[in-house]
Structure 1
Amino acid sequence: MLKYGIALFFVFCLTAVSALEEDDVRSVEPEELEKLLDEGNFEEFSKLMRIDDVNLVIPKDDGSDPMFHEGVPLGDILIPKGEEELEEGDEEEESERAVLNFRKYGGNKWPNGVVPFAIANNHYNNAQRATIYNAINDYNAKNTGTRFVPRSNQRDYVMIFSGNGCYSYLGRIGNQQALSLQRNGCVHHAIVQHEMIHAVGFTHEQNRPDRDNFVRVLWENIPREWHSQYRKGNSDDWVTTTDYDYYSVMHYGMRAPGTGRRAFQILRGGIDERYVGQRGGMTGLDVQKIRNAYR
């Protein structure tokens, strides 16, 4: 196991999030947000959620993979631009990189590991609500050092709703923040937990700086518009605290988006490729890395 202290999490910059600072967005109640959605006032909802692209809020069911969004470099992660720190290097990569770490951006860590949440109940039927709550309860039963609790009067909270696809902010950003679970495609146990783990501050496993020791990315099989989602982080920014987890709920699957061809060559023996990027639920290493960061 790799132990280097507090985890630093390297992520790529999204173009889908506005540059508004936290103080520029007023705090609102979940009921107001749900009313805006029910009325179709997606522009105001997007503004309050700091999402530039209103199309990310408007639900659609066109058969596309809800975990991938064109123009969103990391597919399902929103990051306020105020937290971006671009690196030196290739201009294309530079425009898609950002650093989030709990040492530098202490506010991104949920105080005492408590994550208040609210759900736009009108967006989901009884079975879908049960799936979401079961995923939350299962997450809370694990010893991660974090816990999702129904929001009472907390200023900072996660608003779960059915937008265009599955996505979340990375870590705590202040005031209300979006966690989209599109009713058609995202309301599955592991996908709910995947987005929850983004919300507490973690990105994807295959972006680790040491990933080339464990997988080889088959770039020729991945459409160029998805390349940024497979780039690895910089070891100066990202400190790993667990072994590489092929079976993490945060790892991408073996098939590349858009082509269905192999996205990875596995470089270690004894790995069952059927479960790489599995969507059954959190692994022990998923639990451990969260606990390491929040203890």
Structure 2
Amino acid sequence: MNVMKQFDFLVLLIGSIACFSCSDDISTCENSFKNNSCQDQGEIEIALPNKPKDIITLSNGVQLAKCDSIYILDGDIILSKEQLASLNSVPQTKSAYITALSKRWPGNVIFYTMSSGFYDTNTVQRAINHIETNTSIRFWTKVDGISDYVSFVNGDGNFSYVGKMGGMQLITIYKNSGMGTVVHEIGHALGLFHEHNRADRDSYVTINWGNIKKEWQYAYKKYTDEGYQGSDLGSFDFNSIMLYSSINSFAVDISKPTMTRKNGTTFSGQRDGLSNGDIAGVNRMYGTTAPNDIIYFTREWDENSSNMGRAYLKKYVEYTFVTRLPVQKDEIIYISLYEEGNGSGQEYYPPYEHTEQVKMLKGSRVIKYTVMTESGWQNSSDWYKDIKTVTGIRLPFTRQS
């Protein structure tokens, strides 16, 4: 069993795909054929399969499918207008592509919701359990105060954004899809691209271009064919859940394969679960250490004020703690902090440890703690760091005994 993955490709081509946030464009396409049944996909995931699409070529040679104002990469990966502009503006080099697209989920945690009336919450939960069992990724139910998350929604076809893009991002699942299909789309959200788009795939498979519908040929291009440089780690993984089947609905003649092994035999794109290679790829991107039951995010900002007619600047950092554990209204919790003063000039604060006591007024699982890190006169030599800087946070919190 292949245990290595195309790590460079997976990591370098992780997409920070921008959010449609209940996009009117997606709704327009889906509403056109709500009453149509999704075609048999033959272990293949397709975005908006019943909607006509145009194939467009960007100035740097990349080909995409276009449905109204929706742009589709590799069959089931959705790009926003902002993402399209970013992709179209980068030169044909690996490093520029990384700069434009690379983004992963911090802390190995993905917050998620399921839309009202979602078809099969049990299937999504099974997919989540499978990924949590085999990787360091954890899925937490979204709570108030969390702005970056995925939302599982009903739709025509199966499709997803790639990587973390910020804000709400959709994972669209067609009715009666299996667990493996959901794992495949979550794989995109984690940052995985398709196995058959590898740069070295021609050493392992033969693409039968004459049997692929013209409007779907772009989904079989190697990333190097689209003008990008990269390298693959490990051999081609025929067991990958990110691989299409040889015979699928992209074919002109669906009785014949769109791609085969080099010896001419066909293969099935399994949807039973992550392969060893898929797991290795995710672990190489995110590590093997699962998060604790509490994580924190930071946000920094400046605040201007005045004193004696002079502009005065204060810098703040806000720590947002999120616990996976249920917290009751009026419960008292304690967060242990280590802070180190690094003041200069007029004041100095020595390092000290202390415990913050927080009363959970609403029973929320989000706790915010703000520290002023430095302050001073703007445009003046008497600037000094005058309060404190948090240099370590000890987790998890403890409860009141």
| Fold agreement, TM-score > 0.5 | yes
Instruction: Between the two structures, name the one with larger relative contact order (CA 8 Å, sep ≥ 6).
Output: 1
Q: Give the counterpart of 1:48 among 3, 10, 21.
A: 21
- The match for 1:78 is 78
Matches within 5 A, 1:14-93: 48-50=21-23, 52-58=25-31, 59-65=34-40, 67-68=45-46, 69=49, 70-71=52-53, 72-83=72-83, 84-86=86-88
Identity of aligned pairs, percent? Answer: 24
Alignment partner of 1:112: what SS?
helix
CA distance in 2 between partners of 1:148 and 1:225 (Å): 35
CA distance in 1 between partners of 2:186 and 2:206 (Å): 27
CA distance in 1 between partners of 2:93 and 2:26 (Å): 19
Alignment partner of 1:52: what SS?
helix
1:182 matched to 2:174 = yes
Tell me by how many angstroms 1:85 deviates.
Answer: 2.4
CA distance in 1 between partners of 2:9 and 2:76 (Å): 24
Matches within 5 A, 1:1-295: 7-10=10-13, 48-50=21-23, 52-58=25-31, 59-65=34-40, 67-68=45-46, 69=49, 70-71=52-53, 72-83=72-83, 84-86=86-88, 103-105=98-100, 108-124=103-119, 128-143=120-135, 145-153=136-144, 154-184=146-176, 186=177, 188-234=178-224, 236-257=228-249, 258=251, 259-260=253-254, 261-267=256-262, 273-274=266-267, 276-295=268-287
CA distance in 1 between partners of 2:205 and 2:191 (Å): 23
Q: Which amino acid aligns with 2:205?
A: V
CA distance in 2 between partners of 1:262 and 1:134 (Å): 31
Q: Is the 8 A contact 2:207 2:260 kept in 1?
A: yes
Q: Which runs of 5+ in 2 are unaligned?
A: 54-71, 288-401
Relative to total residues, which structure has the larger helix share, 1 or 2? 1
Runs ≥4 in structure 1, deviation > 4 angstroms? 1-7, 9-12, 97-103
Q: Is the 8 A contact 1:56 1:165 kept in 2?
A: no
Q: Is the 8 A contact 1:159 1:177 kept in 2?
A: yes
Q: Is the 8 A contact 2:14 2:104 kept in 1?
A: no
- The match for 1:28 is none
Looking at CA atoms only, which structure, 1 or 2, has the larger radius of gyration?
2
For residues 197-234 of structure 1, give each alpha carbon's deviation from its aligned partner in whole angstroms, at most 9, with x where no partner exists.
Answer: 01111111101111111101000111111100111112
Tell me by how many angstroms 1:4 deviates.
Answer: 7.1
CA distance in 1 between partners of 2:95 and 2:40 (Å): 26
For residues 184-205 of structure 1, give each alpha carbon's deviation from its aligned partner in whole angstroms, at most 9, with x where no partner exists.
Answer: 4x2x110010000011111111
TM-score, normalised to structure 1's length?
Answer: 0.72
Number of residue pairs matched by the alignment = 248
Alpha-carbon spacing, 1:230–1:6, altered in 2? closer, same or farther (3 Å): closer
Relative to total residues, which structure has the larger strand share, 1 or 2? 2
Alpha-carbon spacing, 1:48–1:141, altered in 2? closer, same or farther (3 Å): same
TM-score, normalised to structure 2's length?
Answer: 0.54
Alpha-carbon spacing, 1:172–1:98, altered in 2? closer, same or farther (3 Å): farther
Alpha-carbon spacing, 1:2–1:251, altered in 2? closer, same or farther (3 Å): closer
CA distance in 2 between partners of 1:228 and 1:11 (Å): 19
- The match for 2:336 is none
Alpha-carbon spacing, 1:146–1:55, altered in 2? closer, same or farther (3 Å): same
Tell me by how many angstroms 1:9 deviates.
Answer: 4.3
Q: Which amino acid aligns with 1:147?
A: R
Tell me by how many angstroms 1:284 deviates.
Answer: 0.7
Tell me by how many angstroms 1:11 deviates.
Answer: 8.5
Alpha-carbon spacing, 1:132–1:100, altered in 2? closer, same or farther (3 Å): farther
Tell me by how many angstroms 1:100 deviates.
Answer: 10
RMSD between aligned residues: 3.4
Q: Which amino acid aligns with 1:183?
A: K
Q: Is the 8 A contact 1:214 1:268 kept in 2?
A: no
Tell me by how many angstroms 1:237 deviates.
Answer: 3.6
